[in-house]
Homo-oligomer: A and B are copies of this chain.
Amino acid sequence: MARTREFDEEQVLHAAMQLFWEKGYEATSLSDLTARMGITRPSIYSAFGDKKELFEAALRKYTMTRASEMRTKLQSNPSVKEAFRTFFEDVIAEEYSGGPSRGCFCINTMVELAPHDEKFEILTREHQMYLSVIFQETIERGIQSGELKAVADAKALAQALITSLIGLTVILKSRPQRAFVDNTLDVTLSLLK
């Protein structure tokens, strides 16, 4: 041990996450990163490795946080149908809140890097699979409570809902009319019965 770090690793990683989330991997330069993170270039390399490793750390932080938030939101509502509707409506509200349309960091990465980098193919796939399990558990809770019909194939339904969520998140980037989104949501949630 010698001199102590003058920055908080979690804090600067959070800053890097925000930037990568907003701009993607290629469009974010090291200069952008040092400016936003508030630390110098060598500090980044000593703490996180190269640009791609930093990106990976940022994405891992994102997926963990996101999965946890999602689980909490879905569990907080006793009605499964309401839980899903609120969840989807929050995603929509986030995009229409005026700020830059960041969408989902994991989905952005799935599009930009997964096809050319196996590490990110796996990382993004596993996150989506994990989310679909959270959906599935929520659906199963609805079946247990009698709110949903027992004949429903919870797993298949969860996977279809995740796919719709991805589609919704992506198309929101093109800022479609509100009616498009509302229609999509109504039809998609009609699968829960």
Contact = CB atoms under 8 A, between A and B. Distances in A.
Contact of A167 (B100, B122, B168, B186): B168
Interface string A164-190: 111110110111100010011011101
A141 interface: no
A101 B141 CA distance: 36
Contacts of A129: 176, 180
B173 A170 contact: no
Contacts of A173: 110-111, 114-115, 121, 124
Interface stretch (A31-39, A40-48, A54-62, A152-160): A152-160
27 contacts: A24-B112, A100-B115, A102-B115, A103-B111, A107-B111, A110-B174, A111-B111, A111-B112, A111-B173, A114-B173, A114-B174, A114-B175, A122-B174, A125-B175, A128-B176, A157-B187, A159-B180, A160-B188, A162-B171, A163-B167, A163-B168, A163-B184, A166-B167, A166-B170, A167-B168, A190-B191, A191-B191
